[in-house]
């Protein structure tokens, strides 16, 4: 019996990238991190919390039967440990791209000085209010600038895509990076357009130079009966 030829993609298929040769990019946020933010250094590279480690195990198990050609990660330990939990199920060597790291908040402040000795509580509240209302990475002083952050974050995800042209890859990074890339794909003027849950999976379709959002913030793997490990 000869196999019937597949119908040619319709204009809608082509528009939504429902065509052969499309790559799926799983953009995955790291597990929950410890939140004891006393100094500028505490913002940069906190480890996973106990809840975060449970989330990572659930994530790894949920992707164990999903074919992945490569797993990429930022160099920060919370993302690296999350990515390792995925890669070990696929016998893949983790590929680190440093520019996938999170927006460098308070980068230009001393590492070891308590924040409340440098920035008043009132100023911190004002900065948080600006971040929420303006949705821009430029709200915080002494930090990596918006244009610099967006450029490196978007380029880092693209680097992963062009490094491993395959059916599906996983890119484990951070909420700011995921927002920057999704914002770039949908051509939004804002840096923060949604709140990814810890270990949530968002999916981007990619072919040639076209990109399209397929799914955002899937964290179903964290819900099992009465157990809900979700956090944001």
pLDDT score, position 40: 74
Residue 225, pLDDT score: 83
Cα separation, 79 vs 102, in Å, equals 10
pLDDT band, residue 41 (cuts 50/70/90): confident
At 2 the pLDDT is 61
Asked if residues 45 and 76 have their Cβ atoms less than 8 Å apart, the reply is: yes
Distance CA 225, CA 222 (A): 10
**What pLDDT shows up at residue 14?**
67
What is the pLDDT at residue 44? 79
Non-local CB neighbours of 7 within 8 Å, separated by 6+ positions: none
pLDDT tens, residue by residue, 188-211:
999 899 999 999 999 999 999 999
Token output for 144: 């990596």
Whole-prediction pTM: 0.90
Token representation of residue 156: 């880092």
- Output the pLDDT for position 96: 98
**DSSP secondary structure, 137-202, as one string:** GGGSTTS--HHHHHHHHHHHHHHHHHHS-SSEEEEEE-HHHHHHHHHHHHT-S-S--S-PPTT-EE
**Ranges of each domain in the chain:** 21-32+44-101+143-228
pLDDT at 7: 72
Burial class (CB in 10 A: 0-12, 13-18, 19+), 11: exposed
CA dist 202 and 178 (Å) reads 8
| pLDDT tens, position by position, 160-171 | 999 988 899 999
pLDDT band at residue 24 under the 50/70/90 scheme: very high
CATH code assigned to 21-32+44-101+143-228: 3.40.50.1240
Query: DSSP assignment, residue 222?
Result: G
């Amino acid at each position: 019996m000869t196999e019937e030829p597949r119908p040619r993609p319709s204009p809608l298929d082509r528009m939504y990238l429902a065509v052969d040769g499309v790559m799926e990019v799983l953009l995955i946020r790291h597990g929950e991190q410890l939140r004891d933010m006393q100094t500028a250094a505490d913002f940069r590279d906190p480890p996973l919390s106990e809840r975060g480690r449970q989330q990572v195990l659930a994530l790894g198990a949920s992707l164990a039967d999903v074919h992945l050609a490569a797993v990429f990660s930022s160099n920060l330990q919370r993302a690296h440990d999350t990515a390792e939990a995925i890669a070990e199920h696929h016998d893949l060597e983790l590929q680190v791209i440093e520019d996938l790291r999170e927006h460098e908040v308070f980068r230009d402040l001393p590492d070891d000085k308590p924040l409340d000795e440098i920035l008043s509580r009132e100023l911190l509240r004002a900065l948080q209010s600006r971040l929420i209302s303006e949705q821009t990475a430029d709200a915080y002083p002494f930090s990596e600038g918006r244009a610099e952050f967006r450029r490196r974050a978007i380029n880092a995800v693209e680097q992963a895509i062009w490094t491993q042209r395959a059916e599906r890859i996983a890119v484990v990074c951070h909420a700011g990076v995921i927002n920057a890339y999704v914002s770039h794909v949908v051509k939004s003027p804002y840096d923060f357009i949604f709140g990814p849950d810890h270990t949530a999976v968002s999916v981007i379709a990619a072919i040639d130079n076209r990109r399209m959002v397929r799914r955002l913030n899937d964290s179903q793997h964290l819900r099992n009966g009465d157990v809900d490990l979700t956090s944001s």
